[in-house]
Amino acid sequence: MKVLVIEDEVTLNKNISKALKAENFVVSSVFDGFLAERLLKKESFDCIIMDINLPKKNGYDLCKEYREYNKHTPVLMLTAFDELDDKIKGFESGADDYLTKPFFMKELIVRMNLLINKSRNTIKNRPKELIVVDDITIRTAQKSVTRQGREIVLTPREYQILEKLCKNQDEIISKDELIKEIWGTSLGINTNTIEVYINFLRNKIDKPFGKNSIKTKIGYGYYFDSE
């Protein structure tokens, strides 16, 4: 599981990272709000540990903007103040939990694991009309797609291919399977058609966001890489 630690106190950042790595988490660390903002848009995580008093962009603003395109990844906020108003502001910004400094690393890990388990259960039980993969959200009723909060306009065929890949994330879907499901028995449709549409999708879904989510398994087909 991947965790991002956003904390400007170097020693505390290192201590948190060390404790998490000892629990077999994959940890990334940043020390200011601007770098955190860039990394949050670029990569996906299982949990975010975020200090409030960050240089360049504070935790409140960072969390609020993050929630515009990611509603499900849990955020655990850290602060040096144990004031009710600060906690309320943190929750209103989109935080899932709150921990006041100083704290015990064991408590941090327990709270974080609870948040991750809750998030996974929520995603598992989410109604089928909403598909969330990485930082992509698909609303099947409206046939709409957003990535990092930005709406992406797709043609009906492009949408159908993306929905199929995302519903079966990390599973390889063959070209023949895509043709059969999306075009049925239409004449004149071949594997070259699928290749063209996959290229269209990559230009809309991946390239503008610096991503490489739609991947090819040569000789087998395509899959959506959720990592």
161's CB contacts (< 8 A; 6+ apart) are 178, 182, 194, 197, 198, 201
Using the 3D structure, point to which of 124, 159, 178 is the last residue of a domain.
Answer: 124
- Note whether 73 and 89 are same-domain residues: yes
- pTM for the model stands at 0.66
Using one digit for the tens of pLDDT, what is the confidence trace for 9-65? 999 999 999 999 999 999 999 999 999 999 998 888 999 999 999 999 999 999 999
- Note whether 91 and 53 are same-domain residues: yes
CATH number at residue 162: 1.10.10.10
- Note whether 50 and 135 are same-domain residues: no
DSSP 3-state of 58: coil
Q: Quote the number of domains for the chain.
A: 2
User: Alpha-carbon distance 190 to 59, whole Å?
Assistant: 50
- Note whether 23 and 101 are same-domain residues: yes
CB atoms within 10 A of CB 118: 13
- Note whether 148 and 61 are same-domain residues: no
What's the whole-number mean pLDDT along residues 97-119? 92
39's CB contacts (< 8 A; 6+ apart) are 4, 28, 30
Is the confidence at residue 127, as pLDDT, over 80?
no
- Note whether 82 and 158 are same-domain residues: no
- Note whether 120 and 55 are same-domain residues: yes
- Note whether 134 and 160 are same-domain residues: yes
> How does residue 186 score in pLDDT terms, banded at 50, 70 and 90?
low
Percent of residues, the chain, with pLDDT higher than 70: 94
- Note whether 12 and 120 are same-domain residues: yes
What's the whole-number mean pLDDT along residues 167-183? 88
- Note whether 101 and 210 are same-domain residues: no
> How does residue 189 score in pLDDT terms, banded at 50, 70 and 90?
low
Answer yes or no: are the C-beta atoms of 6 and 57 closer than 8 Å. no
- Note whether 96 and 112 are same-domain residues: yes
Q: What is the pLDDT of residue 86?
A: 80
CATH number at residue 53: 3.40.50.2300
What is the domain extent for residue 135? 130-224
- Note whether 138 and 196 are same-domain residues: yes
What's the whole-number mean pLDDT along residues 151-159? 92
